[in-house]
Structure 1
Amino acid sequence: VSQSVSQSVSQSVSQSVSPTQLKGGLVNKFNRNAEINLARNLPQDTITDNLLIKGNNLLALHSLKKEFAGRVKLIYIDPPYNTGNDSFNYNDSFNHSTWLVFMKNRLEIARELLREDGSIYVNLDYNEVHYCKVLMDEIFGLENFQREVIWRIGWLSGYKTGVSNYVRNHDSILFYSKNKNKMFFNKIYIDNSNFKELISKNKLTDILCDYDMDKKQISNIYNKINFDTRIKRYPIEDVWNANEYNDLNSIAIVSYSGESVSKMLGTDEVKGQKSEKLIQRIIQSSTNEKDIVLDFFAGSGTTAAVAMKMNRQFIAIEQMDYIETITKERLKKVIEGEQGGVSRALGWQGGGEFVYFELKKHNELFKEKIVKAKNKREILEIFKEIDKNAFLNYKVDMKKFSKNINEFEALRLEEQKRILDEFLDKNQLYVNLSSINDADFEISDDEKEASTSFYGERK
């Protein structure tokens, strides 16, 4: 199940696509449902497929621009926190200024993709949230700042409570509109039946077990305490999971409930994913059914999974290889009707489909080989391959190293990797759409047809 899309940021950023849909085999034409788009007030030929895209998210965002600029209702992202400890293998220890540039480039194109009535939510912790707030004020306008949502992660135990300071127990979610005068917002409430328990039935039973009460009496007391004597509903505040009504713990707290992706897929522990209930609240607040939801740090696929269950169209982008073993496989489980997360609350029984494809790699393939090389012998083979097949950085003289290969071989492995990376032209990491017919790139007919379908006929 793979496709390829190729493009370049400097152009309209298009790349070559060969998608497979997880219902119905190979897709050579993307679905453009005129009836759905009419209801959404979008051009009739807008793509209506759910899209799962593997590749550099900056390039992928630019690839989406022609088709989706001004059409995305909601963006939710959970970017690397710049802590040096990211569980999904991003470079999560950027220096501070590099992280801000990294985010700036992506937030600028993200803004172009949003509808005028759209919103963006950025989930961060204390390391960068305040700097990101200033950055987003610049990109989206201070007037479009809506809220800083404080999300209390949940109850604490173990070594985290031993810190000689106040115990950290929250993330921040920056919420901005594209245009404050047109922003869509669906004010939601927590209904009485969904209030957080003040005391669980099991605990109450343990307390009352010595008082000769039957199950019906205990059940009546349980309902009196938790529901009957409380208000009918409570409005959602900008501090989540921190009052007597609101129950919104992190996945680390509720993993026993079966929402854990690791348990769902039978894989090694996948840490750090946000709960489906958290994403449900955001999607419910800022979209209607059929609206487009974008997440360009897709991770384990929580946003896409919840969007599918809530009948929203999703676009999810992830560059790491686990997109194939975790993200894609999780979404297949959603189609099959898995009952974790918010499935039962939404009455989810399965169904739907998505298209999975990749940005068509060129120099990026060599970068990946460099990173994975385990010894100098492998590096030397990559050196020869780059010399023969890669697009080279004109600012670096590779011939100098070729003539003095013994000096190159004498360098430490990490230094060899750094030099090889410098040889590569970073503007040619992926195949530009304009090069789709270049025989050197060996673009298949399926990839050409799918790329033409994705980007539209080239003029």
Structure 2
Amino acid sequence: MEKLTQETVNFTEKNIDRIAALFPSAITETKDADGKLKRAVNFDQLKQLLSEEVVDGEECYEFTWVGKKQSIIEGNRPIRKTLRPSKEESKNWDSTENLYIEGDNLDVLKLLQNSYLNKVKMIYIDPPYNTGNDFIYRDNFKVSKEDYEEELGLFDEEENRLFKNTETNGRYHSDWCSMMYPRLQLARNLLTDDGVIFISIDDNEVHNLRKICDEVFGEENFVSQLIWERAYSPKNDAKYISNSHDYVIMYAKTIAQYKIGRLPRTDEANARYQNPDNDPRGVWKPSDMSVKTYNEECDYPITTPTGRVIEPPTGRCWSLSKKAFLERLQDNRIYFGSDGNSVPCIKRFLTELKFDGMAPQSIMFYKDVGHSQEGAQEVTKLIETGAFDGPKPVRLLRRLLTLANTEKDSIILDFFSGSATTAHAVMQLNADAEDGGNRKFIMVQLPEETDSKSEAYKAGYKNICEIGKERIRRAGKKIEEKLNAKSKEGELFKEEDRKTPDTGFRVLKVDSTNMKDVYYSPSQYNQQMLLELESNIKEDRTDIDLLYGVLLDWGVPLSLPHITEKIGGKNVHFVNDTDLVACFEEQVPEEVIREIARRKPLRVVFRDSSFRNSPDKINVTEIFKTLSPETTIKVI
């Protein structure tokens, strides 16, 4: 029972709590006047989080590396980019709620901030392990063409050098940390308050990853460092130790709100429960009554039904007080063995367990969740070629989906998608789940080119995204075929009760903004530029490109259904009926605007050139005030 503090509120601690909720990485430790550790605000870190410039400060307990402050700035820096739909590469565009996004995941995470803030229940990522040459990151330093060819580097579409992080690089660990830090900061924003993130990693960077996550998520939100037994046999050519495991680091967004998903009970676990005395409450298992921590109140003799007097073991006491023991004895919850002469134990009934299911263990054995070769075989069987190195098995992702306690409508994000194992696992779980699963996935992957000598390249897969998309298509087809076969065999409910899981996906690709670059000072304008800027939208952009740019800016989910209607000869787009209505036509007539207003949309957007002049814009505002005053109106 808590005692009253008998003092007023400590507003300093309250304010630190508020800062910790918003910026957990700004909280550190210091010593008070008595030399005791206490929480404090790292104001230099807080200033850095709120600044676009590098801020220097005094030393304190913190994890740092060369380039850390710059990586924070990079994560906070806005970008002028958008996501452009690719219907021809998608599956079930009109009905699916799944997304496959191609592009740099740092850009994508920034673009998703409005539409998916606090909406993602689970994030899983399998980032590069930094083993010497397994990741390429964006480097802001420009080099000459000669240097580029000499160093065998690469450039992205914005002429940023893409630099391979080899062990010869003097900032080997620092560059990996700088790559991960801003991505995890942005990812945290997307998690629901009861959400959780899983990160696969090995010994190369697990120590640095834990420190980064302690800052970004708060060390109090650490759940577990799971061990995955990825190999089923030792490598006899290992120089020292045959490493048979990887790690999966697990953090909650808010540990107080996260509820662990428990595993189904096994026959082996249930077999420990029996009913030797035919207790009407069912099967039970014995629990030892003696404890090591001594308590005089729990030190007393117990007389068995046969008259034998039993004392607690030397140096110990019973786990129950005498009063509690007598209450349980009267309720037939104490067992003295079949002969009534044994050391007493407490009955623990299977039907009275505190939680449903079994508590997950920190070690995930390959027999339960699969091994690395199983993951490779799954891709090979689907793609029919050795298409990808090191994919995780579907069973591993199924276990993590369970631990995340995903509900039937949860959103699952993987922004290092690779071969899209996460998407495969989500579709399979939806098909198997009894909750009518409609979990939705968002896969993000850089279209990194495959090696021209690889089997994947020879099979026609020119980049990793092509592998991931094809895997989802084929995995979805197999899931559908399996469900159809079961239905014919009568294993499922009536046809009208059967729901085929969503196996489609919308493909979106990172591109430059839809809008022309019009940011010139007045002295830079000339007559030709003014003529060219009559339209502020790029000529190669379609209505659908503009629509998805609006969804991102306005924070509307990209998975919502949308249709196009002809009203008064003009194309009008309806997103999720009337969540958002858009018309990007030139000079939209008043009757079209009135019809849109009569539909009472939540939001409506027009093109700036949809109106001939300012009076027309004012007229539109007045029309909506009359017919649909709750509508928010914007233009692009």
- TM-score by length of structure 1 reads 0.60
Q: Within the alignment, does 1:277 sit opposite 2:411 as a pair?
A: no
The one-letter amino acid paired with 1:288 is E
Counterpart-to-counterpart distance in 2, 1:162 and 1:360: 47
Counterpart-to-counterpart distance in 2, 1:343 and 1:122: 35
Between structures 1 and 2, the one with greater strand share: 2
* SS at 1:289 equivalent: coil
Measured against aligned partners, the alpha-carbon deviations of 1:169-222 in whole angstroms (never above 9, x if no partner) come to 110111000001111321114623899xxxxxxxxxxxxxxxxxxxxxxxxxxx
The aligned counterpart of 1:315 is 442
Counterpart-to-counterpart distance in 1, 2:481 and 2:268: 20
Could you say if the C-alpha distance between residues 309 and 438 of structure 1 is closer, same or farther in structure 2, counting changes exceeding 3 Å? farther
Quote how far apart the aligned CAs of 1:270 are: 1.7
Larger RCO (alpha carbons 8 Å, 6+ apart): 1
The one-letter amino acid paired with 2:471 is R
Note if contact 1:14-1:62 (Cα within 8 Å) is conserved in structure 2. no
Quote how far apart the aligned CAs of 1:442 are: 3.0
Q: Paired residue for 2:118, among 54, 70, 76?
A: 70
* SS at 1:135 equivalent: helix
Counterpart-to-counterpart distance in 2, 1:277 and 1:329: 20
The aligned counterpart of 1:251 is 372
The aligned counterpart of 1:121 is 198
The aligned counterpart of 2:220 is 143
How many residue pairs match? The answer is: 315
The aligned counterpart of 1:445 is 543
The aligned counterpart of 2:365 is 241
Note if contact 1:12-1:66 (Cα within 8 Å) is conserved in structure 2. no
Could you say if the C-alpha distance between residues 87 and 100 of structure 1 is closer, same or farther in structure 2, counting changes exceeding 3 Å? closer
The aligned counterpart of 1:334 is 475
Could you say if the C-alpha distance between residues 163 and 324 of structure 1 is closer, same or farther in structure 2, counting changes exceeding 3 Å? closer
Note if contact 2:97-2:505 (Cα within 8 Å) is conserved in structure 1. yes
The aligned counterpart of 2:255 is 180
Measured against aligned partners, the alpha-carbon deviations of 1:293-346 in whole angstroms (never above 9, x if no partner) come to 010000000011111222311111001243442111111113313599999999
Q: Paired residue for 2:182, among 74, 87, 105?
A: 105
* SS at 1:141 equivalent: helix
Could you say if the C-alpha distance between residues 135 and 190 of structure 1 is closer, same or farther in structure 2, counting changes exceeding 3 Å? same
* SS at 1:83 equivalent: coil
Note if contact 1:81-1:92 (Cα within 8 Å) is conserved in structure 2. no
Q: Map residues 173-212 of structure 1 onto 2, 5 A cutoff.
A: 173-189=248-264, 191-192=266-267
49-58 vs 305-314, which moves further: 305-314
Measured against aligned partners, the alpha-carbon deviations of 1:111-147 in whole angstroms (never above 9, x if no partner) come to 0111110001110000001111011101111100110
Quote how far apart the aligned CAs of 1:271 are: 1.7
Counterpart-to-counterpart distance in 1, 2:410 and 2:191: 11
Counterpart-to-counterpart distance in 2, 1:166 and 1:449: 55
The one-letter amino acid paired with 2:370 is N
Indicate the percent of aligned positions where both proteins have the same amino acid: 28
* SS at 2:369 equivalent: coil
Measured against aligned partners, the alpha-carbon deviations of 1:15-54 in whole angstroms (never above 9, x if no partner) come to 14224284555x6xxx7xxxxxxxxxxxxxxxx8211000
* SS at 1:183 equivalent: coil
The one-letter amino acid paired with 2:508 is F
Could you say if the C-alpha distance between residues 142 and 309 of structure 1 is closer, same or farther in structure 2, counting changes exceeding 3 Å? same
Between structures 1 and 2, the one with greater helix share: 1
The aligned counterpart of 1:59 is 107
Measured against aligned partners, the alpha-carbon deviations of 1:42-68 in whole angstroms (never above 9, x if no partner) come to xxxxxx821100001001001000000
The one-letter amino acid paired with 1:356 is V
Counterpart-to-counterpart distance in 2, 1:164 and 1:128: 20
Measured against aligned partners, the alpha-carbon deviations of 1:375-433 in whole angstroms (never above 9, x if no partner) come to xxxxxxxxxxxxxxx9xxxxxxxxxxxxxxxxxxxxxxxxxxxxxxxxxxxxxxxxxxx
Q: Within the alignment, does 1:167 sit opposite 2:242 as a pair?
A: yes
Note if contact 1:118-1:184 (Cα within 8 Å) is conserved in structure 2. no
Quote how far apart the aligned CAs of 1:453 are: 3.9
Quote how far apart the aligned CAs of 1:234 are: 6.1
Unaligned 5+ residue runs, structure 1?
Answer: 1-7, 32-47, 196-232, 363-389, 391-434
The aligned counterpart of 1:429 is none
Q: Within the alignment, does 1:303 sit opposite 2:370 as a pair?
A: no
Q: Paired residue for 1:354, among 505, 510, 517?
A: 505
Note if contact 1:54-1:323 (Cα within 8 Å) is conserved in structure 2. no
Counterpart-to-counterpart distance in 1, 2:182 and 2:130: 16
Note if contact 1:88-1:299 (Cα within 8 Å) is conserved in structure 2. no
Note if contact 1:155-1:253 (Cα within 8 Å) is conserved in structure 2. no
Q: Paired residue for 1:11, among 73, 78, 90?
A: 78
Q: Map residues 421-440 of structure 1 onto 2, 5 A cutoff.
A: 438=536
The aligned counterpart of 2:528 is none
Counterpart-to-counterpart distance in 1, 2:484 and 2:165: 32
Give the alignment's Cα RMSD to 1 decimal. Answer: 3.8
Measured against aligned partners, the alpha-carbon deviations of 1:217-274 in whole angstroms (never above 9, x if no partner) come to xxxxxxxxxxxxxxxx8643101107xxx5333231565xxx5212211234422000
- TM-score by length of structure 2 reads 0.45
The one-letter amino acid paired with 1:18 is P
Counterpart-to-counterpart distance in 2, 1:180 and 1:336: 38
Which has more radius of gyration? Answer: 2
Counterpart-to-counterpart distance in 2, 1:88 and 1:307: 28
Note if contact 2:424-2:472 (Cα within 8 Å) is conserved in structure 1. yes
The aligned counterpart of 1:432 is none
* SS at 1:260 equivalent: helix
* SS at 1:162 equivalent: coil
Note if contact 1:18-1:448 (Cα within 8 Å) is conserved in structure 2. no
Measured against aligned partners, the alpha-carbon deviations of 1:61-112 in whole angstroms (never above 9, x if no partner) come to 0100000011110010000000025399994647210110110010000001
Note if contact 2:424-2:476 (Cα within 8 Å) is conserved in structure 1. no
Could you say if the C-alpha distance between residues 360 and 71 of structure 1 is closer, same or farther in structure 2, counting changes exceeding 3 Å? same
Could you say if the C-alpha distance between residues 139 and 342 of structure 1 is closer, same or farther in structure 2, counting changes exceeding 3 Å? farther
Counterpart-to-counterpart distance in 2, 1:441 and 1:266: 41
Runs of 4+ aligned structure 1 residues displaced above 4 Å come to: 87-92, 338-351, 437-441
Q: Map residues 350-429 of structure 1 onto 2, 5 A cutoff.
A: 351-361=502-512
Q: Map residues 227-238 of structure 1 onto 2, 5 A cutoff.
A: 235-238=359-362
Counterpart-to-counterpart distance in 1, 2:409 and 2:201: 27
The aligned counterpart of 2:564 is none
Could you say if the C-alpha distance between residues 338 and 266 of structure 1 is closer, same or farther in structure 2, counting changes exceeding 3 Å? farther
Could you say if the C-alpha distance between residues 263 and 326 of structure 1 is closer, same or farther in structure 2, counting changes exceeding 3 Å? same
Counterpart-to-counterpart distance in 2, 1:446 and 1:263: 36
* SS at 2:84 equivalent: coil
